[in-house]
Structure formats: C-alpha cells, structure tokens
C-alpha cells in the first residue's frame, strides 16, 4: 500500500510504501476511491489547537501518535475481509464511519462512539484514507452510499455529518426564527445543502471571505461579512432587533464565538463546532437573565450518518462544490485549504 503520512507535526506529509495489511477476524480491507480533505487535518498537521492567548492543546497529549495516515472522509471498495466478516461482498463500494470508539463504554454502548473517551477514530488515532488502502476494524462501520458518487459521498462522514449534527441541535426552528451560521467553508457548504431539507427558518451566513458569501447569496441565503464594522446590526436588520434563535459556529475562535453569543435572543442557543481555537468570555448574569444555552457539537453517530445518507439520497439536493485532486496533491491541497483557496471541499481521488 502507498500512503501519505504525517511523520512530524508542523511538517509536510511524506509518502510511505509497505505491504498491504492482511485483514484478520472482523477486519475489512478497502481500496480507497476517494478521501475528503478536512480542516481538522490541518489542525492535526499543526499538532495543536489554540485555547486562548499563547496557550495550546497538543494533539499528542490527547493520544495522537505519529507516524499517522490522516483522512477521515473515506469511500472505498471492499478488497479483502477477515474470517469472521459476513454480509459484505468483495467489490462493494462503501462509506467508512470513522468516529469509532472503544466499543465497551457507556457512550459506545448507547450508539455514540464519536463521544467515546478512549477514541480510536480513523485518520486521527488510527491510519485513515490518505492512502490507496484502509483497514477498517469491523464491517459495522461500513455504510451504503446509495445513488451518490464516491466523490460526493465521502465528505458526509465528517463535513456532512458534523453539519447535520449541529443543525439538529438548533432545531426545531419556526419560519419566523433566524439561524446564523458562521463559516462558509466545507462544513458551511454542507450545512447550506441540508438546511432547506430541515427548516424554513431564515438562515444568515457569516464569513470573512466575500466570494463564498456571494455563492450563498446566489442560492438565496442571507449573508453578512463578519468583518463588517457592525455585524451585529447587519444581522439584526435581517432577523429583527431581538436577535436570532440559534448560532452554529463552524469557526469557533474568540471573535466568532463572542459575536455569536451577542447575536442570541432570549432562550437562544450557541452551538460551537469549529476548532480554529480561542476562548469565550461571557458575562454570567446575561446567561441566566436571557436563559441562553451554550453547547458544543462533535461529528455525529453512526445512526445519524445512516439517517443523513438516506435523507440526501432520497431528496433532490444541490451538490456541494467538490474539487477533485489526485493523492499526489495531498500536501498542496492542505496548503490551499490553510490559505483559504478552497471553495467547498477538496476530495483526493484514486481514479
């Protein structure tokens, strides 16, 4: 197998070639067809998250070990299976659910392995899909992609699922309610695709990049440039003076989370998703007096991913812009993503 691996934090990924792994027991070996490039791969490459001021949360202290093959948005073709694997055939194309856990804790047993405290996520704690092969520990982590192409399907494992998980936490919303979504990158574009299937509330996108907002305006969304001198006033011109019912923050740095908090009307909810890093200072009496909720959201469960794939395959959806590149271009794709040059998602494809 040929993989492009993170060998040292802060450095470019490096090619490595070794023998294909032999799947044992419940394991399944897939040939990778496509793998999405997520902004989380950039945080992984950096080796830390910012947590306010100069402070950092190092991924190695959270159990990430190098060398590691990143890539957690993977569609592949089943090549070989272990002796205990049933109900999957060689040659079948499947989406990999990457947020796997220990399998025995309370969260894993309740169907939420993404919240396991001893996570074994593929592409983060175990080798992922920046490779021509991926070894998946169990057939149960493989899902159908229905009528979707591998390139369109792969990013539902993270960008789509994370957007869906966050949107569900903002619901229910009534038609007269407003929802703000901060960040119109990969996650934001998937959210824009899913929003019309989930709510008829007013949706206002914020980003620092005007060209992304133009794209969303063309699709009928309200937009506000977050660098506007008065973004709160601009949002309230759309939502009404009381503010908005929910904010989903796909950036979640000090500036955006504080802006999101200030936009909430009474009983509103701020949902932090992004890992750009920072800290949020809030006046505690405001939290109580305005009956506000601040919560986080991390990817989604296997059940939610299945639900999401059915939702997008059964409905008429507008495709998220996807730029297909070869695996050889993984480093430049990561650099372009870091420099804000990617609209929607880059997907590495073996075709």
Residue 115 is a binding residue for ligand NAD (CB under 6 A): no
Catalog residues that contact Zn ion under the rule CB under 5 A.
38, 40, 158
Of 43 and 236, CB closest to ligand NAD:
43
Distance CA 103, CA 6 (A): 27
Of 69 and 245, CB closest to Zn ion:
69
Kindly give, in sequence order, each residue whose CB lies less than 8 Å from that of residue 327, ignoring residues fewer than 6 positions away: 2, 4, 35, 130, 131, 132, 348, 349, 350
Interface pick for ligand NAD out of 162, 192, 269, 301 (rule CB under 6 A): 162
Distance CA 262, CA 247 (A): 10
Give all strands (DSSP E) within 130-233, no chain letters.
133-136, 142-143, 178-182, 202-207, 222-225
Cβ-in-10-Å burial (0-12, 13-18, 19+) of 344 comes to buried
CB of 85 to Zn ion, least distance (A): 27
Binding flags for ligand NAD, 27-46, as an x/- string (CB under 6 A): -----------xxx--x---
Interface pick for ligand NAD out of 187, 203, 204, 263 (rule CB under 6 A): 187
Kindly give, in sequence order, each residue whose CB lies less than 8 Å from that of residue 316, ignoring residues fewer than 6 positions away: none
Q: Radius of gyration of the chain from Cα atoms?
A: 20
CB of 114 to ligand NAD, least distance (A): 8
Stretch that binds ligand NAD, among 89-97, 122-130, 142-150, 177-185 (CB under 6 A): 177-185
Q: What are the structure tokens assigned to 291, written together?
A: 């009956």
Judged by beta carbon distances under 5 to 8 A according to partner kind, the member of ligand NAD, Zn ion, none in contact with residue 213 is: none
Kindly give, in sequence order, each residue whose CB lies less than 8 Å from that of residue 54, ignoring residues fewer than 6 positions away: none
Of 144 and 336, CB closest to ligand NAD:
336
Using CB under 6 A as the binding rule, the residues of this chain from 264 to 323 that contact ligand NAD are 273-276, 297-299
Ramachandran angles phi, psi of 319, nearest 5° = -70, 145
Q: Do the beta carbons of residue 20 and residue 139 sit within 8 Å?
A: no
Q: What is the DSSP letter of 6?
A: B
Judged by beta carbon distances under 5 to 8 A according to partner kind, the member of Zn ion, ligand NAD, none in contact with residue 255 is: ligand NAD
Residue 216 is a binding residue for ligand NAD (CB under 6 A): no
- Rounded to 10°, the helix 159-170/302-314 angle is 90
Of 206 and 337, CB closest to Zn ion:
337
Residue 340 is a binding residue for ligand NAD (CB under 6 A): yes
Q: What Å distances lie between residue 255 and 27, 278, 331, CA to CA?
A: 44, 8, 29
Of 158 and 347, CB closest to Zn ion:
158
Q: Which of 134, 67, 68, 65 is nearest to 98 (CA)?
A: 134
Of 39 and 94, CB closest to ligand NAD:
39
Distance CA 330, CA 136 (A): 21
Q: Which of 327, 323, 324 is nearest to 1 (CA)?
A: 327
Q: What are the structure tokens assigned to 145, written together?
A: 């992609």
Residue 224 is a binding residue for ligand NAD (CB under 6 A): no
CB of 175 to ligand NAD, least distance (A): 26
Binding flags for ligand NAD, 232-261, as an x/- string (CB under 6 A): ------------------xx-x-xx-----
Residue 48 is a binding residue for ligand NAD (CB under 6 A): no
Torsion of CA 131, 137, 143, 144, to 10 degrees: 70
Q: Which of 248, 234, 262 is nearest to 171 (CA)?
A: 248
Interface pick for ligand NAD out of 208, 219, 311, 317 (rule CB under 6 A): 208
Judged by beta carbon distances under 5 to 8 A according to partner kind, the member of ligand NAD, Zn ion, none in contact with residue 145 is: none
CB of 152 to Zn ion, least distance (A): 16
CB of 323 to Zn ion, least distance (A): 16
Q: What are the residues binding ligand NAD (CB under 6 A)?
A: 38-40, 43, 158-159, 162, 182-187, 206-209, 212, 226, 250-251, 253, 255-256, 273-276, 297-299, 337, 340
């Amino acid at each position: 197998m040929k993989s492009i691996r993170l060998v040292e934090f802060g450095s470019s990924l490096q090619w490595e070639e070794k023998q294909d792994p032999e799947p044992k027991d419940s394991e399944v070996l897939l040939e990778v067809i496509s793998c999405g490039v997520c902004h989380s791969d950039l945080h992984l490459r950096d080796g830390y998250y910012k947590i306010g001021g100069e402070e950092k949360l190092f991924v190695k202290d959270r159990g990430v070990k190098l060398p590691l093959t990143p890539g957690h948005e993977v569609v592949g073709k089943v090549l070989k299976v272990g002796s205990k694997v049933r109900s999957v055939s060689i040659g079948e194309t499947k989406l990999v659910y990457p947020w796997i856990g220990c399998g025995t804790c309370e969260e894993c047993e309740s169907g939420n392995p993404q919240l396991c405290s001893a996570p074994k996520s593929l592409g983060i704690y175990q080798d992922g899909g920046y490779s021509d092969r991926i070894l998946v520990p169990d057939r149960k982590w493989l899902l159908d992609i229905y009528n979707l192409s591998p390139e369109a399907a792969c990013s539902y494992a993270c960008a789509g699922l994370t957007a869906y998980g966050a949107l569900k936490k903002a619901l229910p919303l009534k038609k007269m309610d407003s929802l703000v979504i901060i960040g119109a990158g990969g996650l934001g574009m998937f959210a824009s695709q899913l929003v019309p299937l989930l709510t008829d509330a007013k949706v206002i996108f914020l980003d620092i990049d005007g060209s992304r907002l133009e794209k969303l305006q063309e699709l009928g969304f309200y937009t506000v440039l977050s660098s506007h001198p008065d973004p709160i006033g601009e949002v309230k011109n759309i939502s009404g003076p009381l503010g908005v019912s929910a904010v989903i923050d796909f950036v979640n740095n000090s500036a955006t989370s504080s802006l999101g908090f200030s936009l909430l009307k009474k009983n509103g909810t701020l949902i932090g998703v992004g890992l750009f890093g920072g800290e949020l200072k809030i006046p505690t009496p405001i939290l109580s007096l305005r009956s506000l909720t601040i919560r986080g959201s991390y990817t989604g469960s296997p059940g939610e991913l299945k639900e999401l794939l059915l939702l997008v395959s059964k409905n008429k959806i507008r495709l998220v812009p996807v730029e297909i590149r070869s695996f050889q271009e993984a480093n430049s794709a990561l650099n372009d993503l870091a420099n804000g040059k990617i609209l929607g998602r880059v997907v590495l494809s073996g075709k």
